[in-house]
Amino acid sequence: MSPNISLQRKFVSPEIVFGAGCRHSVGTCAANFGARKVLLVTDPGVQAAGWVDDVQAALERSGIEHCLFAQVSPNPRCEEVMLGAELYRSEGCNAIVAVGGGSPMDCAKGIGIVAAHGRHISEFEGVDMLRVPSPPIILIPTTAGTSADVSQFVIISNQQEQMKFSIVSKAAVPDVSLIDPETTLSMSPFLSACTGIDALVHAIEAFVSTGHGPLTDPHALEAMRLIGGNLIRMIANPGDIQLREQVMLGSMQAGLAFSNAILGAVHAMSHSLGGYLDLPHGLCNAVLVEHVVAFNYDAAPERFKIVAETLGIDTRGLTQRQVRERLVSHLIDFKRAVGFTESLSLHGVNLSDIPFLSQHAMRDPCILTNPRSSTQRDVEVVYAEAL
């Protein structure tokens, strides 16, 4: 009997090394790929925190040359990807290492794509557009949230059009991810809150996504448990490395879930917002999350009930409507507990911006796996609620 096609699922992941201090093994990893010269991608903030020095020292210990590319904005731009790819080529590099948050990691993935294909990065927007493997890529995340280091997503900002675009392909999964909780010690409380909520949204959206399955559900649920149970305490005790390990592990689990189950309307709307106003991605997600959960709830009530229970809400004896209300208020309380009280209007979003934002959100691949099918009008209403 032939297998049921609807139940077929694939799961992609890089080689993952997890644990305090694993950034120091980057030289050995690069040597295993036969790296002679590495393009090291980062940004000024990560450089100032000292993590780049550790990576440079590790590469030198392994006798591997490198050249540094640190011109990466908080939302990596097309022109930065193209500049990095030109430096990669002119310096004769044959591998890429990135150390930083989602921006340097996405920029590094973009550089690899351009180096392999020799075309402009904007030509690869969409799903499965990559035809040639990228050079070896090793990523070292310094935030516990974006999970660019384990995902098949690359998010690039096109400043000319005031929008972000997504590249989704298993060819964009990095070769090695060195997940070192020590590197998150330099995060500010606000960045910890933004990236932590981003990771929690990854887990929730992956669990209710129409692309979820038995390979992604355990990762999504474990991520919710780890982040829901540890993020508030981690922000209150920033020096506690055990709490950082738990949140970093949760972020990694969320990344494995969403990379394979894809996401939903929070991310489609967040990409549009971040591209338009050049705002931090985690902030955009945090502002939108409870509004999208309220909108989506009735399309997947059983799964949202499991989300509520996993986040510690007692749902016994409650109606569907009551569970929905409890979950939405739990998310609002959780955001406040990590110090997050932002709204869209605080960042200058007006009602007049909403049609433009909604149009771009409807073109984002993440909207395709949202549990409730959405029209542009639906998206406009949710943006308006988040003002």
pLDDT, tens digit, 9 for 90 and up, residues 323-355: 999 999 999 999 999 998 888 898 889 999 999
Continuous segment of H or E residues that includes residue 84: helix 78-90
Say yes or no to pLDDT of 7 above 80: no
* Residue bearing tokens 């991810």: 177
pLDDT at position 22 is 97
Residue 6 pLDDT class (50, 70, 90 cuts): low
pLDDT tens digit sequence for 92-109: 999 999 999 999 999 999
Q: What is the mean pLDDT of residues 152-180?
A: 95
212: pLDDT strictly greater than 60: yes
Q: Say whether pLDDT at 199 is over 80.
A: yes
For all residues of the chain together, what is the average pLDDT?
95
pLDDT (0 to 100) of residue 137? 98
Q: State CA 312 to chain mean position distance.
A: 24
Q: Are the CB atoms for 275 and 158 separated by under 8 Å?
A: yes
pTM score over 0.85: yes
Helix (H, G, I), strand (E, B) or coil at 294: helix
The reported pLDDT for the residue numbered 9 is 85
Distance in Å from the first CA to the final CA of the chain: 53
Is pLDDT at 54 greater than 50 in this prediction?
A: yes
Judge whether residue 2 has pLDDT over 90.
Answer: no
Output the CA–CA distances (angstroms, integers) from residue 217 to 67, 99, 129, 341, in the order listed: 40, 29, 27, 30
* pLDDT > 50? residue 4: no
